[in-house]
Each structure stands twice: as structure tokens, then as C-alpha cells.
Amino acid sequence: MKPDVKICGLSTPETLEAALSRGASHVGFVHFAKSPRHLDVEPMAEMVRLVAGRAETVIVTVDPDDTLIARFAEEVRPDWLQLHGKETPERVGEIKARTGLKVMKALPVAEAADLDAVAAYRGVADRILLDSKRPKGSNLPGGNGVSFDWTLLGALDRDLAYMLSGGIDAGNVAEALRVARPSGIDVSSGVESAPGIKDVGRINTFFDELDRIASQKGSKP
């Protein structure tokens, strides 16, 4: 089945349009002050308006308080909140109940034991996103452009429909899909020319590679 493709950390109408025109299923906007991709609530609402239903919209946020989640729900009205902090399963359930929005919970993975956390969030979060752990020295919990050992994911229940992120780009997406078999992939740094600067050329190259992978699959008997 064709994987979902989320292009995350978009901040300009031009790059948003590139992602949408190439068929991104999800587009993401980051609200985290330390991020080079940070968007405040109002510009984020404008980006969501520009999407106009052509893809699912996702706000990426880190340990948001109730005031912030209310602003997201009322002023931005995305389809999803992506929680990239230390939100517990209880907090995920509470945020879902308060906003009525779908929630994608990001879990950091570096070793097999990190996958134990999946069980607690499965059935609470609408989707689980498996991402790399924050590298030493980084002040970002995501968007660091580093990948992890995807072979670890072979231990997951094959029925778990998760998104994979962390350092995916046009050069390794075929390998990511082959090894990890996620139901969706999430890309940010891999389509940038510099941290926080999305690049239309790289977005196109990434989707060209996905088209190439799909055509190879289609040609197999």
C-alpha cells in the first residue's frame, strides 16, 4: 500500500504548495520557539487556510499547556496535533478529549527497549510516530535530521500502523521503506537547504524518488 507522506516544518506558501502539488498526504507546521521552523499561531493558521483541505494538517508541538492547545484548536483548526515532548498516555487522552483533534504521539527510539513505550500509547494516540532520539548537544526534540537503526522496528507488531521519521531524505527513503515498512514517512530536514529553509527542488527530488519506488513496485509480478 502507498505510504502516507508528511512533509513537516513548512513555513512558506511556495514550499507548502510544492508539497501539496506533489501529493503530500500530511503537511506539518512546528510551534516550538527554539526551532528554526517555529511558526506562531497566526501565521500557522494562515498556512492551514492555504491547505484548504488538500492534505491533513498537523501542528507539531512540545508539552503544550491547556491554553496553547485551546488556541490551536480554536484559531488554527488543524486535523492533527503531533506531540513531541514528554506527554504521558493520560495527557494524550486529555488533549484529545479537550480538542476533539487527532493526536500523533512521537516516541524517541535509539535501542530495542525504547519500543516498550509503544504499548502504553497504542489505542490512546491515533497514530504513533517513531523518531530518533535527540542527539547530544541539540536543543530540539525532533527535526535534527538524524536517523536511527531501522532494523529495530522488525520487533514491532506488523499490525501497528506507525509513521517513521528522523533523517529521512531522497537518498535513504527506499531503504527506510524496505527495512522499517512504516505506514507513513515524515520528512523535514531531508527537504531543506539549511536548517529551517525548505527547498522546492529538494521536495521535488524527494517525491521523484517516491514515484520511482512506486513504479518499481508496480512493475514486480
User: Largest Cα–Cα distance in the chain?
Assistant: 54
C-alpha angle with apex 14: 12 to 16, nearest 5 degrees?
A: 70
Q: Which H/E stretch holds residue 7?
A: strand 4-7
CA 3 to chain centre: 13
182 binds ligand LGQLAAA5, rule: CB under 6 A: no
Known catalytic membership, residue 199? no
Known catalytic membership, residue 157? no
The Cβ of residue 16 has, within 10 Å, a number of other Cβ atoms equal to 23
Nearest CB to ligand LGQLAAA5, comparing residues 55 and 168: 168
76 binds ligand LGQLAAA5, rule: CB under 6 A: no
C-alpha angle with apex 31: 25 to 37, nearest 5 degrees?
A: 75
Place of cell 524517541: 108
Q: Give the x/- contact pattern for ligand LGQLAAA5 in 5-44, rule: CB under 6 A.
A: ---xx------------------x-x-x--x-x-------
Nearest CB to ligand LGQLAAA5, comparing residues 45 and 185: 185
Residue whose beta carbon is closest to ligand LGQLAAA5? 143
62 binds ligand LGQLAAA5, rule: CB under 6 A: yes
Q: Shortest gap between Cβ of 38 and ligand LGQLAAA5 (angstroms)? A: 7
* 3, 184 Cβ separation under 8 angstroms: yes
Q: Which H/E stretch holds residue 58?
A: strand 56-61
Active site residues: 8, 131
Residues near ligand LGQLAAA5 (CB under 6 A) are 8-9, 28, 30, 32, 35, 37, 60, 62, 84, 131, 140-145, 165-168, 186-190
